[in-house]
Structure 1
Amino acid sequence: MGFELSVILAYAFGLILLYIVGWILLIPLKFIIRLIWNGIIGGIMLLLVNLIGGIWGISIVINPISAIMAGFLGVPGVILLLLLQYIL
């Protein structure tokens, strides 16, 4: 009584399906981790700009819009906020 070809193919199909489902579930997790990381870095950068920039009279008002921009974009978002404040 040996292994039949249909049993081997069923196991192979199951393993491939498991790999595909795991890969699909991993993509949103990477996106969420990246958003959290950018939010932490953006918040720290806003804090540092307000602490260090206070010496030279540079500060960014922390409100929901600036927090979202710094959170989504990270360091480039903080630089963009500084440039917008300088222009406006």
Structure 2
Amino acid sequence: MGFELSVILAYAIGLILLYVVGWILLIPIKWLVKLIWNGIIGGIMLLMLNFIGGFWGIYLAINPVTALITGLLGVPGVILLLILKYIV
């Protein structure tokens, strides 16, 4: 009536596999949350640029693409967008 070694081993392997699968699924969620957070930060940076740069006629459109570029790259992203705007 006691547990056999194979049953205990099967449960242990199942728990380890469950942990590994959970860990693998959690990584993309962390990336997605970081991407959204950086997009919000990028939007705020663009808003500040438009407010301050408005005195000199410097502005960038605030949309999801520019917010994510700014959020991912930070200040270099803003500079990149400004260069692209005035070149194209």
TM-score normalised over the length of structure 2: 0.78
Superposed CA deviations along residues 48-76 of structure 1, whole A, max 9, x for unmatched, are 100011122211133x4xx3133145124
The unaligned stretches of length 5 or more in structure 1 are none
1:71 to 52, 68, 71: 68
Determine the C-alpha separation between the residues in 2 that align with 1:56 and 1:20.
54
Q: Distance in 1 between matches of 2:33 and 2:79?
A: 22
Decide whether the 8 Å contact of 1:50 with 1:58 is kept in 2: yes
Aligned-pair CA distance for 1:29: 0.4
Whether the aligned pair in 2 keeps the contact of 1:35 and 1:72 (CA below 8 Å) is: no
Contact 1:43 1:70 in 2 (8 A): yes
Q: Structure 1: how far apart are the matches of 2:70 and 2:27? A: 19
Q: Number of paired residues?
A: 85
Equivalent position of 2:37 in the other structure = 37
| Alignment match, 2:4 | 4
The Cα RMSD (Å) is 2.0
Matched, 1:50 2:50: yes
**Unaligned stretches of 5+ residues in structure 2:** none
Please say which of residues 78-87 and 34-43 is displaced more in the overlay. Answer: 78-87
Closer, same or farther in 2 for the Cα pair 1:9/1:37, shift >3 Å? same
